[in-house]
Amino acid sequence: MNPFVTIVVALRAVLRNKMRSFLTTLGIIIGVAAVIAMMAIGAGAKAQVEQAFAAMGTNLLIVMPGSTTAGGSFGGFGSMPTLTWDDLAAIRTEVPSVKAAAPQLRSNQSIVSDELNWTTSVTGTSPEYFEIRNWPVATGSIFTQADVDAGSKVVLLGQTVVERLFGSSANPVGQTVRIGKSPFAVVGVLDRKGQSPNGQDYDDAAFIPMTTFAQRIQGGLGKFLVGSIHVQATGSDTTQRALEEVKALLRDRHHIAPGGEDDFSIRNLSEVASAQQQGTETMTTLLASVAAVSLLVGGIGIMNIMLVSVTERTREIGLRMAIGAKPRSILLQFLVEALVLSLAGGLLGVAIGVGTASWLADKFRWPMQIQVDVIGISVVFSALVGVVFGLYPARKASQLDPIDALRYE
Amino acid sequence: MIEEPLIRVANVKKVYKTGDVEVHALRGVSLDVYPGEFVAIMGSSGSGKSTLMNLLGCLDRPSSGSYRLAGREVAKMNRNELAEVRSEVLGFVFQSFNLLARTSALENVELPLVYRGVGGRERHRRAAHALERVGLGARLDHTPAQLSGGQQQRVAIARALVGEPKVILADEPTGNLDSQTSVDVMALFQELGQAGITIVLVTHEPDIAECASRVIVVKDGNVVTDRKQVPRPARTESPSSSGVSVEKREYP
């Protein structure tokens, strides 16, 4: 029996009971649709997390000053300055696995333009900071090391701040704003960066040279660096080494005896990022396995209805055998029928899954990524379910005794 | 030259075991059927005629004895080989027609050729030809539900004919038909027999058996009568009124 005829016969048998065939494949349809939709949304969420962490900076370590201990209660990291400007210089020059380091001194300040004012987070830093965070300017330019050395009153504005102070389409480069009592020249506007993983607006920020920040906002440039240090390792494989080297350097510089507690802490952001990613992956895997169970149930549904079909068509099987069908032809006929059912369910499931993912993404503004490989695997898997669960009924059909089958009422 | 029998059954026994009880359905049957014979096998229910028919049809294997069909020993064949023999040598006609429902007459007749791997166009041509031969050339697209009982049985006969079998086995082919339609179907069998096709027919009705050229009576698992006879024409009036066109052809 040639394969084309087998497929036509199977299709006809499936279409003869349209409602029954549809209900039979429903398990597969739901399973595949769920897998596709979950994986699409999961991949979208993962990509979003990745993007958000890339926006914070790649291979990033953040060095925070240590905690104060007052009467037994810890004040939390950053409550007391322990890092010095010399520490920053030492990290830059003495640790080979460090590519760049920049301070981050932060304070909320009111910025005033000619007509409007806006309170935002003002950061004092050095030009390397923008390199570490992969954050170029949209217009103008980043302030220079010379500006830092001189303590110039220059400022870089984020997009949100520009909108609040000058309106959405304005170009403020060259204009003057006041921070506190001092006038600052706007030298550049940074590119739009979007949101942090916890929903904070990166673009609602202004940046001035660290020296200017210390003098104008922190009330003088002292020995201590009142803020944190962003450190970028030379590569993703050296991040952990950079962390250990910076740690050793700072312990040495702060004269901490072996066994003594650090007066600073270092956070490895790539670790945080991979933990987050693992979180989304675990979630996706969990949902996908629930969907896989649905596929399994769908397969059992197919087996059930194929068994019914074999019983119903016992006489037909007997006749086919009497006129020359070999057991193998009968096996193949029912196997292909199960395959047609499950494959049709799989393809319908793909369509519904893609549709559902798009609809959810549209309605709730979730990110999503349709993955071609997941679609391929789902279709192959549903076909496999058809073959596996169709095998038993098909074998049963092929092993019927033609005499009994012909006499079956 | 002595003609080789088409069917040679020698001392065939068939024993069924039902629990501890052994049922001897056939107790050593021997018979030869030569090409072109029209044999009627008669017997009451339980006589063993159905068992004999199943063995002749290669649907079952004898417990002992030899069965040569068209020169091949089939008594020891496995299921696949039996299916092949059925496909190549035999054509079946059943009491209850056994047509596929909701499937056109043409496709029903094509079915045996499908299992032989005959291509679509050739299948169509031969099936249409077989249907013309049984007088249903105008009803190729009718489904069984749109045909009368007699017409359905003629589709079944066309299906048995389409593979150009050496033997047509008919199991009570008139059992579900009224007397007038039975006459039509028997007239068709007689015409096919005159055209040289070997026919073995099982019946319990004596007036159906009268239409055959040889009658074998089976009783309690033994052949009790085996006689040749001059067949009584199924139809007394002229055969052309059946609307069946008979084609003379030589069968080996």
Cβ proximity of B105 and B147 under 8 Å? yes
Do A243 and A186 belong together in one domain? Answer: yes
Determine contact: A407 vs chain B, CB below 8 A.
no
Asked if the structure places residue A63 within a domain, the reply is no
Asked if the structure places residue A9 within a domain, the reply is yes
Residue A74: per-residue pLDDT: 52
Residue-averaged pLDDT of chain B: 89
Do A258 and A290 belong together in one domain? Answer: no
Stronger pLDDT, B213 or A365, i.e. the higher one: B213
With bands split at pLDDT 50, 70 and 90, how would you rate the model's confidence at A90? Answer: very high
CB proximity under 8 Å: B 142-201 to A: 159, 163
Which pair of tokens denotes residue A128?
């390397």
Q: Could you tell me which chain A residue has the CA closest to the CA of B159?
A: A323
Whether A335 shows a pLDDT value over 80: the answer reads: yes
Asked if the structure places residue A76 within a domain, the reply is no
Do A200 and A317 belong together in one domain? Answer: no
Do A233 and A346 belong together in one domain? Answer: no
Query: Using the beta-carbon criterion (under 8 Å), do B159 and A323 form an inter-chain contact?
Result: yes
Q: A239, A262, A285: which is the final residue of a domain?
A: A262
Do A198 and A113 belong together in one domain? Answer: yes
Query: Using the beta-carbon criterion (under 8 Å), do B111 and A328 form an inter-chain contact?
Result: no
Q: Would you list the DSSP string of B180-246?
A: HHHHHHHHHHHHHHHTT-EEEEEES-HHHHTTSSEEEEEETTEEEEEEE-PPPPS-SS-GGGG-PPP
Query: Using the beta-carbon criterion (under 8 Å), do B163 and A324 form an inter-chain contact?
Result: yes
Query: Using the beta-carbon criterion (under 8 Å), do A322 and B57 form an inter-chain contact?
Result: yes
Superfamily of domain B7-242: P-loop containing nucleotide triphosphate hydrolases (3.40.50.300)
Sign of CA dihedral B170, B174, B177, B181: positive
From the candidates B77, B99, B100, which should be mutated to test the interface with A, based on the most A CB atoms within 10 A?
Answer: B100
Do A92 and A231 belong together in one domain? Answer: yes
Q: What would the pLDDT profile of A149-177 be if each residue is shown by its tens digit? A: 999 999 999 999 999 898 877 888 989 99
With bands split at pLDDT 50, 70 and 90, how would you rate the model's confidence at A1? Answer: low
CA separation (Å) from B236 to A283, B86, B201, B207, B233?
85, 35, 21, 13, 6
Segments of A54-97 assigned E as strands:
60-65, 69-70, 73-74
With bands split at pLDDT 50, 70 and 90, how would you rate the model's confidence at B240? Answer: very low
Which pair of tokens denotes residue A275?
């933990």
Which pair of tokens denotes residue A322?
């009497």
Do A101 and A241 belong together in one domain? Answer: yes
Do A401 and A330 belong together in one domain? Answer: yes
Residue B237: per-residue pLDDT: 58
Residue B248: per-residue pLDDT: 46
Determine contact: A323 vs chain B, CB below 8 A.
yes
Distance, in Å, from the CA atom of B155 to the CA atom of B144, rounded to the nearest integer, reads 9
Q: What would the pLDDT profile of A177-223 be if each residue is shown by its tens digit? A: 999 888 999 999 999 887 776 678 889 999 999 999 998 888 877 88
Residue B239: per-residue pLDDT: 47
Do A89 and A203 belong together in one domain? Answer: yes
Residue A197: per-residue pLDDT: 65
Q: What would the pLDDT profile of A281-321 be if each residue is shown by its tens digit? A: 888 788 778 877 888 888 999 999 999 999 999 999 999 99
How many domains, chain A? 2
Residue A251: give the domain boundaries.
Answer: 83-262
Asked if the structure places residue A104 within a domain, the reply is yes
Cβ proximity of B208 and B42 under 8 Å? no
Do A322 and A253 belong together in one domain? Answer: no
Stronger pLDDT, A251 or A57, i.e. the higher one: A251
What residues pair up with A52 in beta bridges, in sequence order? none
Residue B1: per-residue pLDDT: 46
Do A100 and A194 belong together in one domain? Answer: yes
Determine contact: A290 vs chain B, CB below 8 A.
no
Residue A371: per-residue pLDDT: 85
Residue B251: per-residue pLDDT: 47
Determine contact: A324 vs chain B, CB below 8 A.
yes
Whether B76 shows a pLDDT value over 60: the answer reads: yes
Asked if the structure places residue A72 within a domain, the reply is no
Contacts of B104 in chain A (CB under 8 A): none
Residue A196: per-residue pLDDT: 73
* For residues A376-394, average pLDDT: 92
Q: A200, A234, A262: which is the final residue of a domain?
A: A262
Asked if the structure places residue A61 within a domain, the reply is no
Asked if the structure places residue A226 within a domain, the reply is yes
With bands split at pLDDT 50, 70 and 90, how would you rate the model's confidence at A80? Answer: low
Number of cross-chain residue pairs from A and B with Cβ atoms under 8 Å apart? 60
Whether B249 shows a pLDDT value over 80: the answer reads: no
What residues pair up with A156 in beta bridges, in sequence order? A188, A207
The one-letter amino acid code at A359 reads W
Query: Using the beta-carbon criterion (under 8 Å), do A328 and B80 form an inter-chain contact?
Result: yes
Query: Using the beta-carbon criterion (under 8 Å), do B83 and A324 form an inter-chain contact?
Result: yes
Q: What would the pLDDT profile of B124-137 be if each residue is shown by its tens digit? A: 999 999 999 999 99
Segments of chain B assigned E as strands:
7-18, 21-33, 38-42, 64-69, 72-73, 90-93, 167-171, 198-203, 214-219, 222-228
Residue A205: per-residue pLDDT: 92
Distance, in Å, from the CA atom of B197 to the CA atom of B35, rounded to the nearest integer, reads 7
Nearest to B57 by CA among B86, B78, B26, B99: B86
Residue A16: per-residue pLDDT: 87
With bands split at pLDDT 50, 70 and 90, how would you rate the model's confidence at A4? Answer: confident
Q: What percent of chain B has pLDDT over 90?
A: 75
Residue A79: per-residue pLDDT: 53
Residue A123: per-residue pLDDT: 93
* A7-11, A86-90, A102-106, A275-279: segment of lowest average pLDDT: A275-279
Q: What would the pLDDT profile of B20-47 be if each residue is shown by its tens digit? A: 888 899 999 999 999 999 999 999 888 8
Do A220 and A349 belong together in one domain? Answer: no
Shortest Cα–Cα distance, B85 to chain A (Å): 8
